Amino acid sequence: MNILKKYNYRLKDLDCAACGQKIETELSKNPNYHNVNVNFSTLKLSLEAEENKNLKKEISSLIKKIEPEVEVLEYDQKVEEDKSKFSLFRLGIGIILGIVGLLTDFPFYISEGLVVLSYLVLLSRTMKNAFQILKNSRSIDENFLVTISCIGAYLIGEIMEGFFVVVLYEIGKVLEEMAIRNTRKSIKDLMDIRPDYANLKKGKESIKVFPESLKIGDIILIKQGEKVPIDGIVRKGSAKLDSSMLTGESNLLDIGEGDQVLSGSINAKGLLEVEVTCEYENSTVYRILELVENATDKKAETETFVSKIAKIYTPIIVGLAILVGALLPVFSDVSYTTSIYRALIFLVISCPCAIAISVPLSYFTGIGRASKEGILIKGSSYLDSLKDIGTIVFDKTGTLTTGSFQVENLTIYDSNYKENQVLELFAKGEKFSNHPIAKCILEYVGKEVDTKDVKNYQEVSGKGISYELKGHEVKIGNASFCEYKEKEEYTGTTIYLNYQEKVIASLNIVDGIKKHAKETMDTLNKMGIQTAMFTGDNEKISKSIAKKLGIDEVKAELLPTDKYHYLEHLLKNQEEKKVAFVGDGINDAPVLARSDIGISMGNIGSSSAIEASDVVIMTDELEKIPVAIEISNKTRRIIIQNLVFALATKIIILLSSIFGMAGMWQAIFADVGVTLITILNTTRILRK
C-alpha cells in the first residue's frame, strides 16, 4: 500500500470562486491526487499524493491549463493580491480610447480604429484567459462568455452598448477583486495572532529570532507592547497580559513569576523573562492558526450542494442561449439580429460567480468571527450544525461548576461560640493540610492564624483531621468522624467541628457554579433548546445544581460507559435536531466524539480539549455557547439571502431578456453587480 503525504500550497491571483471549483474538479480527476480541496477564502490548495519532489511543478502546469493567471506558491509564502493599480490603469486607457472614438468627429477609420483598440485593451485579460482555457481544457468559462458577448454586440451594430458593457464589466471585476481582498484582510486581521519574532536572551543581550527557531529551555524577553511568541513559564518580572486575541476576553491578566504565558497574548504592561516550555509547532498560537486555517476544508452540505449545482448551471444556460438565438425568430417576429443579441445577454448572465462565492466565503467569515469571540470551530460543517441543536448535554464538574471548592455557609450549633472563634479553630487545623477543601476553608477564613499552640496534629485519610489545643482535642471532618448524629439537608460536602467532645459548628462546602451559568441556561431555554446534565457525581448534589440552573433533565452517579449509553438513547430519540455534548476535555472524549457536536470547555491552551471536540470554547465561559449558535444562525441567514438574491435576480433578468425588456447593462448587473452585493452582504457576519 502506497503511503500518501499531505501537501498544502497557496494559489496567487485566484479571484473567482467558480474558477477555484474548476481547479478542484480537474485535479480530482487525476488518479495520483486524493482529497483535493481548494479553499477560495484562504487561497489554499490541499491534496494528498505519494511523495514527489516535482509535485508543485506538475500541479502548476495543470492549473495553468485551467486558469492561466493563477500561480502556485509554497504554503508559507505571502500572497500579494493587489492588482488593482494595473487594472485601473488599463481600464482608464480603454475608456479614454473608446470615448474619443465614439464621440469625436475623426474620420471613420480613425474613430473605428480607436473603438476597436479600446475593446482590445479592455478585453485583453479576459480574451487571453478565455482562449487559453478553450485551447488547454476545451471548456468555456466566464471569460469566454463575456468575450463572445461583447464582440457579438459590436458585430451586430450595438457598438455603444457593447463598449459600455465591457467598461461596466471591468469596473465590476475591479470592485469585486477589491471587495474580496478587503474581506480576506478583515478576517485575517481577526485572526492575526501569529508572532513575528522573539527576543532570545544571550548573556546580558537579546537578539531577534523567528519563533520557529526557539528550543525548550531557551529564555526570551517579552517587552511591553509585544506578542508572546511561544508558550512558557515566567522566570522573572511581572506584567499585564491582553489575551483578547486568543479568547475574546477584554480584561487584562496579572502575570508573575511561576505563571504560564500562552503565545498570541500581548504584553500590555511590564517586562517578562520567560522560559520556553514547548516547540513552536506545539504552541497555543500554532495549534489555533492551524485549526482555523483548516476549518473550511471540511465543507458543509450546503457548500457541496452549491458546488454541484454550479457545475451544471453554466452549461444549461449556454444551451438555452443557443436555443434563444436559433429558435426565437421561428416562433415570433423577432429578427435574427435581435435574437442573437438576447442570446448574448443569456451568456453574460450565466456566469455563476455570485452563487459560487457566497457560500464558502460566508462560512469562512463565520468561523473567523467565532475565533474572535474565543470560539474555535473546526469546520464549516460544524458551524452549520450549531444552528440545528435541539438538546445540549452538560457534564457537571469543570463545565457547569468551577471544579474548585467554596464555602457556601457556616452554621454554629453552640451559642457560646462566636463566628471568629469557630473560624479560628477551623483554620488552625486546616493550616497543616494540603487537601483542596482545606485550602478553600482557609480562603473563606481570609486571615493568617497562629498555630504555635497546635499540638499532636493528625490526618485520618478519608475522614478528617485532629489536633490538641490547650489540652482539648479538636476534630474537623465528616459526621461519623466528629460524632455528629443529626440529619442534615445540605447539598454538597459538610465539614463538622468537634471541640471539647461536642460538635459546635459546620461548614457546607460546594463545587462553585460558574459565573453566568444560570443566564446561559435561561438563554438556551429561550432559544428552544433542551438542557440536560450527565454526571458521575452524587445525585442529590447534581439535582440541586440542576434546579438552581434550570436544567431540564439530570442523570447522576454515572460511569463513563453509562454516559455513553444515555447519550446513544438521546440521539436515537432526536429525529431532526442535533445533540451537543459539553465537557471539559479528554475525560469526556467518548461522548464528545459520539455526539453530533462535541463542545469542549477546554482550559485555554489545553491540547486535549482542542483534539477531543468539534468546537472549543477557549475561555471556559458557558455564555459563549449561545454566541456560537447565534453566529451559526446569522451565517445561514446571510447564505440564504445571498442565494435567493443572486438566483432571483438572474432568473428575472433572464426572463426579461427573452421578451426584450432587459439589455446588456442589466446582464452585467446580474453578474458582477450581484457578486459584489453578495460579498458586501457577507461582511455583515463580522459585525456583532
Residues 6 or more apart from 371 whose CB is under 8 A from it?
A: 190, 191, 288, 292, 377
What residues form DSSP beta bridges with 531? 392
- Average pLDDT of the chain? 81
Mean pLDDT of all residues in 232-258: 79
- The whole-number pLDDT of residue 626 equals 95
Q: Tens of pLDDT along 467-512?
A: 999 889 999 988 888 988 877 666 667 899 999 889 999 998 877 7
The closest of 617, 597, 622 to 520, measured between CA atoms, is 622
Q: Per CATH, which fold does 5-74 belong to? A: Alpha-Beta Plaits (3.30.70)
Q: Per CATH, which fold does 403-512 belong to? A: Calcium-transporting ATPase, cytoplasmic domain N (3.40.1110)
Residue 485: is it exposed, middle or buried by C-beta count within 10 angstroms (0-12/13-18/19+)?
Answer: exposed
- The whole-number pLDDT of residue 683 equals 84
CA pair distance 304, 308, nearest whole angstrom? 6
Q: What is the DSSP string of 411-480?
A: EE--TTS-HHHHHHHHHHHHTT--SHHHHHHHHHH-S----TTEEEEEEETTTEEEEEETTEEEEEE-TT
- Give the range with max mean pLDDT: 54-68, 153-167, 470-484, 626-640: 626-640
- The whole-number pLDDT of residue 587 equals 60
Mean pLDDT of all residues in 581-589: 73
Q: Tens of pLDDT along 46-81?
A: 888 888 888 888 898 888 887 777 888 887 766 555
Query: Does 161 score more than 80 pLDDT?
Result: no
User: Within 13 A of 495's CA, how many CA atoms are on the CB side?
Assistant: 31
Q: What cell numbers appear for 174 in the block?
A: 475591479
- The whole-number pLDDT of residue 424 equals 92
- Give the range with max mean pLDDT: 9-13, 392-396, 534-538, 540-544: 392-396
Query: Does 214 score more than 60 pLDDT?
Result: yes
- HEC per residue, 341-403: HHHHHHHHHCCCHHHHHHHHHHHHHHHHHHHHCCEEECCHHHHHHHCCEEEEEECCCCCCEEE
CA pair distance 601, 622, nearest whole angstrom? 8
Catalytic one of 141, 231, 395, 511: 395
- The whole-number pLDDT of residue 16 equals 66
Q: Per CATH, which fold does 375-401+514-629 belong to? A: Rossmann fold (3.40.50)
Query: Does 606 score more than 60 pLDDT?
Result: no
- The whole-number pLDDT of residue 368 equals 80
- The whole-number pLDDT of residue 182 equals 65
Q: Give the CA distances from residue 535 to residues 219, 398, 553, 562, 564, in Å, rounded to whole numbers and listed in that order.
A: 43, 11, 11, 10, 11
Residues 6 or more apart from 563 whose CB is under 8 A from it?
A: 534, 536, 555, 588, 590, 591
Sign for the CA dihedral angle at 275, 278, 281, 286 comes to negative
Query: Does 313 score more than 70 pLDDT?
Result: no
- Strands of the 44-49 sheet, one edge to the other: 34-39, 44-49, 5-12, 71-74
- HEC per residue, 132-165: HHHHHHCCCCHHHHHHHHHHHHHHCCCHHHHHHH
- The whole-number pLDDT of residue 427 equals 92
Query: Does 248 score more than 60 pLDDT?
Result: no
Residue 395 is a catalytic residue? yes
The closest of 328, 358, 313 to 142, measured between CA atoms, is 313
- The whole-number pLDDT of residue 616 equals 84
- The whole-number pLDDT of residue 296 equals 52
Mean pLDDT of all residues in 296-323: 66
CA pair distance 510, 534, nearest whole angstrom? 18
How does residue 387 score in pLDDT terms, banded at 50, 70 and 90? very high
- Of the chain, the percentage scoring pLDDT greater than 70 comes to 83
List the domain boundaries for the chain. Answer: 5-74, 198-286, 375-401+514-629, 403-512
Q: Which of 96-110, 513-527, 596-610 has the lowest mean pLDDT?
A: 596-610
How does residue 255 score in pLDDT terms, banded at 50, 70 and 90? confident
User: Within 13 A of 233's CA, how many CA atoms are on the CB side?
Assistant: 7
Q: What cell numbers appear for 201 in the block?
A: 536572551
Q: Tens of pLDDT along 431-458?
A: 888 777 888 889 888 888 888 899 999 9
Q: Which one-letter amino acid corresponds to residue 479? A: A
Cα-based torsion angle of the residue sequence 234, 619, 635, 179 in order, rounded to the nearest 10 degrees? -20
Mean pLDDT of all residues in 4-26: 79
CB 87 within 8 A of CB 170: yes
507: phi > 0 → left, psi -120 to 50 → alpha, else beta; which? beta
Angle between helices 624-658 and 336-349 (to 10 degrees): 170
Q: Which of 140-154, 403-417, 527-541, 671-685 has the lowest mean pLDDT?
A: 140-154
DSSP character at residue 670 = I
The closest of 418, 511, 427, 437 to 478, measured between CA atoms, is 437
Q: What cell numbers appear for 517 in the block?
A: 451559568
CA pair distance 408, 401, nearest whole angstrom? 14
How does residue 529 score in pLDDT terms, banded at 50, 70 and 90? very high
CA pair distance 159, 170, nearest whole angstrom? 17
Q: Span 198-286: which CATH code?
A: 2.70.150.10
- The whole-number pLDDT of residue 78 equals 63
